[in-house]
Chains A and B, each alone.
Chain A
Amino acid sequence: MKIFFATDIHGSETCWRKFLNAAAFYKADLVILGGDVTGKVMVPIVAHTGYWQATIRGEAVRMETREELARVENQIRARGSYPAVVTPDELAELSATEGAVDQRFSTEMMASLDRWLDMADGKLRGGEIGCILNGGNDDIFEIDELIESSPCVTFAEGKVLDLDGFSLISMGWTNPTPWDTFREAPEDELAAKIEAVAAQVPDMGRTIFNFHAPPYGTGLDEAPALDASLRPMHGGAVMKPVGSMAVRDSIMAHQPLLSVHGHIHESRGVKKMGRTLAINPGSVYGDGVLQGALIDLDLKKAKVRRYLLVNG
Chain B
Amino acid sequence: MAAEAAGEAPTLFLRKATGLVRGWSVRDSMIYACLSTNVVTLGIFEFSYQSFFPKGQLLTAVLISAVWVSFLVIAYAGLIVTIPRAGGDYVWQTRILFGGLGFVMAATGWWFILWLWAPIYGNVLSAEFFQPLLATLGHPSAATWFAGHNGVFLVSVITILLAGFLVSLGMAGYAKLQKWCFYGGLVGFAIVLILLAVNNHADFVSSVNLEAQKIFGIHNAFGATNAGALKNAGYVSPSFGFTPIAASMLLVPMMMFYLLWPNWGSTLYGEIRGASDFRRVFIGMFGGLWITVLLSVLFLVLVNKTMGSFYNNSSALYWGAYYSAGKYASPIPIWPYPVMFVGWLVHNEVFQVVLILLMFLWFLAWVGTLFLSSTRVIFAAAFDRILPDRAAEVSEKRKVPVYSLILMLLPAVLLSALYAYWSKFYTYTLDATVVIAVTYLFSAIAVVILPFRKPELWKASPASRIKVLGVPIVPVAGVITIGLLGYNLYEWLTNVNYGVNSNDSLLYMLGMYVLAVVIYLIAWFVRRRQGIDLGLINKEIPVE
Contact = CB atoms under 8 A, between A and B. Distances in A.
Interface of A: 10, 14, 17-18, 21-22, 25-26, 36, 40-44, 54-55, 57-59, 75, 78-81, 84, 91, 94-95, 101-102, 104-106, 137-138, 140, 177, 179-181, 217, 219, 223-226, 229-240, 263, 265-266, 268-270, 272, 284, 286-290, 294, 296, 305-306, 308-312
B86 A266 contact: yes
B542 A229 contact: no
A10 B274 CA distance: 18
A140 B267 CA distance: 31
B32 A235 contact: yes
Nearest to B30: A235
Contact of B16 (A80, A106, A179, A238): A179
Which 10 residue pairs of A and B lie closest in terms of their CB atoms, listed nearest first? A101-B3, A55-B11, A234-B175, A312-B541, A235-B28, A102-B1, A40-B17, A18-B541, A232-B24, A58-B274
Interface of B is mostly: loop
Considering residues A44, A305, A311, which has the most beta carbons from chain B within 10 angstroms of its beta carbon? A311
Contact of B18 (A22, A43, A140, A179): A179
A140 B383 contact: no
A234 to B, nearest CB: 4
B528 to A, nearest CB: 11
B532 A21 contact: no
Contact of A102 (B3, B383, B541, B543): B3
B392 A269 contact: yes
Given A21-B542, A44-B13, A311 B95 contact: yes
Given A105-B3, A309-B384, A312-B539, A181 B16 contact: yes
B541 A101 contact: no
A240 B465 CA distance: 33
A57 B275 contact: yes
Considering residues B176, B284, B383, B465, which has the most beta carbons from chain A within 10 angstroms of its beta carbon? B383
Given A240-B172, A309-B384, A40 B271 contact: yes
Given A102-B3, A105-B13, A311-B95, A270 B383 contact: yes
A42 B460 contact: no
B176 A224 contact: no
B5 A95 contact: yes
B203 interface: no
Contacts of B456: 78, 288
B539 A310 contact: yes
A184 to B, nearest CB: 9
Contacts of B533: 308
A306 B465 CA distance: 43
A25 B86 CA distance: 28
A43 to B, nearest CB: 5
A35 to B, nearest CB: 11
A153 B521 CA distance: 40
B462 interface: yes
Considering residues A58, A138, A233, A269, which has the most beta carbons from chain B within 10 angstroms of its beta carbon? A58
A232 B12 contact: no
B460 A79 contact: yes
Contact of B267 (A22, A41, A236, A308): A236
A233 B175 contact: yes
A236 B280 CA distance: 13
Contact of A25 (B10, B399, B542): B542
A77 B393 CA distance: 38
Given A230-B20, A239-B171, A266-B86, A224 B269 contact: yes
22 contacts: A41-B272, A55-B12, A57-B465, A94-B10, A95-B10, A179-B17, A181-B16, A181-B17, A226-B21, A231-B23, A231-B24, A234-B24, A234-B178, A235-B24, A235-B284, A236-B268, A237-B32, A237-B175, A290-B541, A305-B531, A311-B94, A312-B539
A306 B531 contact: yes
Interface in B1-47: 1-3, 5, 9-25, 28-29, 31-32
B179 interface: yes
Contacts of A21: 541-543
A235 B24 CA distance: 6
Nearest to B21: A230
B29 A25 contact: no
B13 A41 contact: yes
